[in-house]
Amino acid sequence: MEKSAKIYVAGHNGMVGSAIVRKLEKEGFTSIIKKSSKELDLRNQQAVADFMAEEKPDYVFLAAAKVGGIIANNTYRADFLYENLCIQNNIIHGAYVNGVRKLMFLGSSCIYPKMAPQPLKEEYLLTGPLEYTNEPYAIAKIAGIKMCDAYREQYGCNFISVMPTNLYGYNDNYHPQNSHVLPALIRKFHEAKTNNDKTVTIWGTGTPKREFLFADDLAEACYYLMLNYNESGLVNVGTGEDVSIKDLALLIKDVIDFKGELVFDSSKPDGTPRKLMDVSKLHAQGWKHNIELREGIEMAYHDFLKSYVER
C-alpha cells in the first residue's frame, strides 16, 4: 500500500477500527477516510453507494458492525442479522463496483460451530450448529466471508477475511450489562476497590477458558495481512493461548490491587467450556502477537481510568 493511497476504515470509532487507524497513522499513511455513523449510515444502500462512488478508496478495512454481549445478541436477533447483512453487503458490493484494490472483512470467533473441536481451525466453519444466542450475528459474519470469496471467484476481487478471537484494549466498552468479560471485570474490581468492598462476585464457576488479544495487536495483524495475504477463506487471529476465567479474575485483581476475596456464583451460566483459536495458519504467514495478557490488562486499566474515571 502506497503511503498516499486512499484507505477507508469502516467503523473507525470502534475499538478495532480506532486501533487500525492508529496503526495506519503510525506507518505514515496520509489519506485515511473516516465517516462516523452520524455522517454515513452504512445500513443505507444508496448512501453507501454514493459515498463509495465519490471517495473511490483504494483499500478498505471493514471493521464496522452492530455488536453486543450475549443479552443484546439474543434479544435483538432480527436487528443483529438484518443490520450486519446490510452493512457488509453495501460495503463489499460498493468495493467491487468502484474497483477497490483490496478489502479486508473482519468477523468473529462466534462463526464456529458450538461443539467444534478445540482449538478452532479455519476448516471447522460450517461443520455443525452454531451457538443459539449469537446465531444471527454469526450467520451475518459467515455470509460476509462467503461474499468475499464469491466476489473473488466471480469478479477477481482481492477480498480477504480475518476472524479475531476475544478482544480488549483502548476504547473498549465498560458498560455494566453490555460489556464482555474482561472489561466487565476491570470495572467490577475497580468499583469494589473504590467502595472498599470485601468481595467481588464472578459469574459461573470460573473454570471456562478464554483467549484474549489486545486490539492494537489485532491492528498489527490486519496491517500485516493486508500487505501479505491474498487468499480465499479466512485467517484466525489470536494468541493461541487461553486462560481460565478464575485466573483472569485473579490477574485483574492483582493489576488493580483489590485486596478482597473472589466469590463464584455457580447459579449463573458458564457458557462454552472453551473457545481457543488455532493460529498456526497465521503463524505460518509470519505474524505473532506481541502484547501478553498482564501487560495488556495494565494498558487497558490505564485507559479505563483515563476514559471513564477521570472525566
Determine whether the annotation assigns residue 302 to a binding site.
Answer: no
Supply angle C-alpha 291, 239, 11, rounded to 5.
75
In a domain, 20, yes or no: yes
CATH number at residue 134: 3.40.50.720
pLDDT computed for residue 307 by the predictor: 85
Determine whether the annotation assigns residue 13 to a binding site.
Answer: yes
Residues 147 and 52 in one domain: yes
Residues 140 and 18 in one domain: yes
Structurally, how many domains does the chain consist of?
A: 2
Q: Is 170 a catalytic residue?
A: no
Nearest to 29 by CA among 4, 11, 10: 4
pLDDT computed for residue 146 by the predictor: 98
What end-to-end distance do the CA atoms of the chain give, in Å? 38
Nearest to 299 by CA among 241, 216, 222, 237: 216
Residues 87 and 145 in one domain: yes
Nine cell digits for residue 105: 472483512
Per-residue pLDDT tens digits for 274-286: 889 999 999 999 9
Dihedral pair phi/psi, residue 36, rounded to 5°: -75, 165
pLDDT computed for residue 311 by the predictor: 56
pLDDT computed for residue 289 by the predictor: 97
Per-residue pLDDT 10s for the chain (311 aa) are 999 999 999 999 999 999 999 999 999 999 999 999 999 999 999 999 999 999 999 999 999 999 877 777 888 899 999 999 999 999 999 999 999 999 999 999 999 998 999 999 999 999 999 988 889 999 999 999 999 999 999 999 999 999 999 999 999 988 776 678 899 999 999 999 999 999 999 989 999 999 999 999 999 999 999 999 999 999 999 999 999 999 999 999 999 999 999 999 999 888 778 889 999 999 999 999 999 999 999 999 999 999 887 65
Determine whether the annotation assigns residue 106 to a binding site.
Answer: yes
Determine whether the annotation assigns residue 190 to a binding site.
Answer: no
Residues 84 and 23 in one domain: yes
- Which parts of the chain fold into alpha helices (H)? 15-26, 45-55, 70-75, 77-97, 135-155, 181-194, 215-228, 245-256, 280-285, 293-304
Determine whether the annotation assigns residue 74 to a binding site.
Answer: no
pLDDT computed for residue 73 by the predictor: 80
Residue 83 sits in which domain range?
7-169+211-240+277-291
In a domain, 176, yes or no: no
Helix (H, G, I), strand (E, B) or coil at 273: coil
| CA 140/CA 133 separation, integer angstroms | 14
Catalytic residue among 112, 137, 170, 223: 137
